[in-house]
Amino acid sequence: MSSKKLFVLALDGVPFTLLQKLIKTGKMPNLARLAETFHFAQMDSVIPPVSSVAWASFMTGKLPHEHGIWGFVERDPGTMDWYVPRADKLRATTLWEHLSRQNRRVFVMNVPLTTPPRKINGISIGGFLETNLDNATYPPEIAFLLKARGYRIDADTELAKKDLTRFFKHLVDVFEKRVETMWYFWQRESWDFFMLHIMETDRLNHFFWEFAMSDNPMYAPQFYTFYEKIDGFIGQLWNKIKDTHSLLLLSDHGFITLKKEVYLNRWFVEQGYLKFTKAVPETLKDIHPHSKAYSLYPGRIYVNLNGREKMGSVQPGKEYEHLLQHLSDQLLQWKDDDGITQIIKKVERVPTIFKKEK
């Protein structure tokens, strides 16, 4: 695999441990052969380990405090407005932009956080969280071609709440249409860099994971059938590209069975750190000025800091440092209803996290 051309296959939300299991049980023989012949290893995701943050780090080579993406939602501390960060909030140059500057031909399909699309020397087709193809492509005229082929950016997850069997069939259709469309573009020219992101694995895991892990007779077979389809595609892909391209297969984060969810803002209210100006708060602007801290998904804690937050009440310096330490101590002492199980295993400050990463 010494080629200077590269194909990147991204399987969203797929844990290394699951692939190991599927290889061991014979459900992914094509991946098994690649894993035995080449390099197959577990890696850590970024913090926070969610799709928008992880793919931003992959495409820029930067950590969150450098590229500016921290989650699916963000707030403007000066106004306390919240928004969904998109590619125009990405404070770094992407891999495909660097390659374009070197006159390399690049193709990028369905990668999260790539809309609005940036100009590249090739084609960019956006992914999650975009919903409108008209806003998702560079060059813009590619959208018309995709619509004509019945291409979808993402599966309709609302269907999963109504009928899982229908949703599974829909998911397979979206995946197959994505692969079919990918091959159409693949054969148009010899691309220097080609990336295909599969969101369907993440969608499958969100709605079928617990059924698969508990061997549910109705839905577990569908879960494994989908991964067998993924493996079939991997085999087909490798046979077609091995003479011209290297293959990089990766994921952005893993998956695990959920025991319970905790709502940090509710805990902050109970502990007196967070107050609201309304009985039923609707936005971040409803946070009371006397509040000390609040949280945004996933697990991000913000101090209501004077001079940064619009209604900041905590003074920088000793008060700020004391509050951070007190919050950390209390969170680590938080126990589940059994009075034994520790809910929060680790609390870290941003500078400490990324100092370790470096």
Query: Is 52 a domain residue?
Result: yes
CA proximity to 152, closest of 185, 213, 117, 109:
109
Chain mean position to CA 327: 28
- 305 by DSSP, 3-state: which? strand
In the numeric block, the tokens 């126990």 are attached to 335
pLDDT of 152 reads 97
Per-residue pLDDT of the chain (358 residues; tens, 9 = 90+): 445 799 999 999 999 999 999 999 999 999 999 999 999 999 999 989 999 999 999 999 999 999 999 999 999 999 999 999 999 999 999 999 999 999 999 999 999 999 999 999 999 999 998 999 999 999 999 999 999 999 999 999 999 999 999 999 999 999 999 999 999 999 999 999 999 999 999 999 999 999 999 999 999 999 999 999 999 999 999 999 999 999 999 999 999 888 889 999 999 999 999 999 999 999 999 999 999 999 998 899 999 999 999 999 999 999 999 999 999 999 999 999 999 999 999 998 988 777 655 5
Q: Do 322 and 231 share a structural domain?
A: no
Both tokens assigned to 228: 């067998």
Enumerate residues 6+ apart whose C-beta is below 8 A from 289: 304, 311, 313
Rounded CA separation 294/271 (Å): 12
128 within 8 A of 146, measured Cβ to Cβ: no
In the chain, the number of structural domains is 2
pLDDT of 288 reads 96
pLDDT of 4 reads 78
Q: Do 295 and 236 share a structural domain?
A: no
237 within 8 A of 9, measured Cβ to Cβ: yes
CATH of the domain at 157: 3.40.720.10
Look at residues 218, 250, 282 and tell me which one is the last residue of a structural domain. 250
Query: Is 257 a domain residue?
Result: no
In the numeric block, the tokens 């369907």 are attached to 200
Query: Is 197 a domain residue?
Result: yes
CA proximity to 112, closest of 236, 13, 215, 259:
13
Tell me the whole-structure pTM to 2 decimals.
0.92
Q: What percent of the chain is helix, strand and coil (3-state, nearest 5)?
A: 40, 15, 45
- 287 by DSSP, 3-state: which? strand
Q: Do 213 and 298 share a structural domain?
A: no
pLDDT of 11 reads 98
Residues β-bridged to residue 335: 342
Query: Is 281 a domain residue?
Result: yes
**Within a 13 Å sphere around the CA of 9, how many CA atoms are in the beta-carbon half?**
21
Look at residues 250, 280, 314 and tell me which one is the last residue of a structural domain. 250
- 218 by DSSP, 3-state: which? coil
What are the φ/ψ torsions at residue 271 (nearest 5 degrees)?
-90, 0
Burial classification of residue 201, based on how many CB atoms lie within 10 Å of its CB (0-12 exposed, 13-18 middle, 19 or more buried): buried
Q: Do 214 and 328 share a structural domain?
A: no
Rounded CA separation 199/274 (Å): 36
Q: Do 281 and 236 share a structural domain?
A: no
What is the number of residues in the chain?
358
CA proximity to 197, closest of 136, 284, 287:
136
Q: Do 89 and 46 share a structural domain?
A: yes
Query: Is 153 a domain residue?
Result: yes
pLDDT of 357 reads 53
Q: Do 112 and 35 share a structural domain?
A: yes
Domain containing 224 equals 6-250
